[in-house]
């Protein structure tokens, strides 16, 4: 598998260093490098990039802000000189982060993590069910029956079609999102993942499942809008 990648960094030395790392990594193909998020914002949408190496500390538009505008297909590896940003990186669902000065070993480790993620993701389209732990038991959940998933701190509630009570499982939303195939499921809020095929009613920007209204947060509105445009 070859991953199409891009680099965004306002430091020329860092930009050139990562470019050299990409060049000697056999499964990476460079599609573009940009000295600012503004420049990347104009050109990246046409590139269909799998992996983005994104600097955090940049003028005008920083990496954390820009990451929320990136296509949902693209996985992000943040590059930063400030390790306190690590937590923020994971809050926007970054795959990994690299602390400057970046060594090739660390770069390769993050790139391999991305490769494994995409290889796993390519097989997920074949998934029909998953097993989740609930009440000390493993419960088989058919993906086609899931309406939506709600995150509650360290737990998730899995709401099933024609089932009165949700399944409660000790899992994080991040781990659930990584398991579910993106072709069928979409995150629309920090606390909600929905089954695309089950979306029948949208009321004032909210997804309606029977009596339950699922909000779409600002961070995920562009993803939701793309979904609507594909189905209109």
Cβ contacts of 123 within 8 Å, gap of 6 or more:
none
Residue range 131-154, pLDDT digits in tens: 888 887 888 899 999 999 999 988
Place of tokens 């480790």: 109
How many domains does the chain contain in total? Answer: 2
As a whole number of angstroms, the distance between CA 49 and CA 71 comes to: 9
8 with 117, same domain? yes
145 with 182, same domain? yes
Cβ contacts of 48 within 8 Å, gap of 6 or more:
4, 71, 73
Residue range 54-73, pLDDT digits in tens: 999 898 888 888 888 888 78
41 with 114, same domain? yes
83 with 192, same domain? no
Last residue of a domain, one of 79, 105, 124: 124
If pLDDT is split at 50, 70 and 90, which confidence band does 48 have? confident
Residue range 107-126, pLDDT digits in tens: 999 999 899 888 877 765 56
Q: Does 90 have pLDDT greater than 60?
A: no
Token pair belonging to 20: 């050299």
Q: Report the 10 Å Cβ neighbour count for 69.
A: 14
What is the per-residue pLDDT for 17?
97
If pLDDT is split at 50, 70 and 90, which confidence band does 91 have? low
pTM: 0.57
Q: Average pLDDT, stretch 191-213?
A: 94
As a whole number of angstroms, the distance between CA 158 and CA 173 comes to: 11
| Inter-residue contact 128 to 142 (CB < 8 Å) | yes
What is the per-residue pLDDT for 8?
96
137 with 116, same domain? no
Last residue of a domain, one of 124, 151, 168: 124
114 with 189, same domain? no
Interior angle at CA 20, CA 41 and CA 48, nearest 5: 35
Last residue of a domain, one of 124, 154, 180: 124
Domain that holds residue 86: 3-124
Collapsed DSSP state (helix, strand, coil) of residue 161: coil
Residue range 11-43, pLDDT digits in tens: 999 999 999 999 999 999 999 999 999 999 998
As a whole number of angstroms, the distance between CA 34 and CA 8 comes to: 5
CA 57 vs CA 7, 21, 41, 109, 157: distances in Å? 14, 21, 16, 22, 36
142 with 104, same domain? no
Nearest to 129 by CA among 142, 120, 144, 138: 142
79 with 142, same domain? no
96 with 199, same domain? no
Provide the mean pLDDT of the chain.
88
81 with 147, same domain? no
**In CATH, what number is assigned to the domain containing residue 133?**
2.40.50.1020
| Inter-residue contact 209 to 181 (CB < 8 Å) | no
42 with 112, same domain? yes
Cα 134 vs. chain centroid, distance in angstroms?
Answer: 25
107 with 133, same domain? no
């Amino acid at each position: 598998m070859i991953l199409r990648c891009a680099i965004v960094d306002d430091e020329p030395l860092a930009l050139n260093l990562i470019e050299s790392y990409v060049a000697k990594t056999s499964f990476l193909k460079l599609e573009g490098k940009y000295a600012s998020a503004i420049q990347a914002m104009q050109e990246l949408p046409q590139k269909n990039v799998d992996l983005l190496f994104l600097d955090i500390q940049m003028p005008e538009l920083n990496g954390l802000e820009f990451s929320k505008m990136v296509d949902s297909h693209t996985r992000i590896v943040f590059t930063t000189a400030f390790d306190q940003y690590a937590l923020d990186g994971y809050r926007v669902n970054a795959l990994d982060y690299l602390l400057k000065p970046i060594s090739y070993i660390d770069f390769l480790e993050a790139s391999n993590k991305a490769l494994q993620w995409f290889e796993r993701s390519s097989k997920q389209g074949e998934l029909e069910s998953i097993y989740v732990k609930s009440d000390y038991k493993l419960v088989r959940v058919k993906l086609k029956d899931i309406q939506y998933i709600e995150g509650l701190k360290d737990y998730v509630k899995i709401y099933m079609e024609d089932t009165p009570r949700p399944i409660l499982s000790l899992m994080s939303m991040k781990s659930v999102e990584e398991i579910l195939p993106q072709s069928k499921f979409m995150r629309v809020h920090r606390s909600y993942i929905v089954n695309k095929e089950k979306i029948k009613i949208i009321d004032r920007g909210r997804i309606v499942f029977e009596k339950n209204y699922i909000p779409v947060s600002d961070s995920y509105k562009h993803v939701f809008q793309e979904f609507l445009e594909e189905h209109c």
